[in-house]
Amino acid sequence: MNQLSPSLRSQDMRINQQETCFQGFFRMSKLTFSHRLFQGGWSPELTRERFDRGPAVGVLLYDAQLDNVVLVEQFRVGAIHEASPWVFEVVAGMIETGEQPEEVAKRETLEETGASIQTLTHICDYLVSPGGTDEKLYLYMAQVDSTGISGVHGLAEEGEDIKVHTLSCETAFEGVRNGTINNAATIIALQWLEIQKLKGLL
């Protein structure tokens, strides 16, 4: 028996009511639901708010020839209580209705760095914070020539001001270890890259 097979499935819950309780730049939903319990029976009716962020894509740009990675730096409102709200990240963007993750990865890479990518290596898909948001991130690595990637990018109409950084892999890995790189997608992608390199797979 697979020990990582979930004990219960989506049919073991029922949503009794769902409503939008906030709609601004983002949306918040209020859900009333119940679900089956591990020891049998059903939970009482529960009410939770959920941040409806939706699916997104992240892309780590890696230059195997120079042993560099390309990260972007931009202001993040969720980091305003950190030492700096300017955060080093992988390229990332939201998936709109009808889009495939791979095409979003290519579009966002061009918008945020000016680089065109062709081949994507899948790293993983993960739920960002399932206790409170429906956001799911599709994470990839793309090999690039980092020598031509630089400058400030982003869409002005979306308020984007994105600075491109080319770093040695070891500098980026050390940034994870010392906490300078402090967001999940970038940490996951860089740790994956470090493991692949240690295994001799890249």
Name the residues annotated as catalytic.
Answer: 158
DSSP run (H or E) holding 166: strand 162-168
* 41 DSSP assignment: S
Query: CA-to-CA distance for 141 and 71, rounded, in angstroms?
Result: 12
Cβ proximity of 112 and 59 under 8 Å: no
Closest CA to 121 of 196, 199, 200, 198: 196
Closest CA to 30 of 45, 12, 11: 45
Work out the angle at residue 139's Cα, subtended by the Cα atoms of residues 123 and 181, and round it to the nearest 5 degrees. Answer: 100
- Single-letter amino acid, residue 108: E
Strand partners, 15: 33
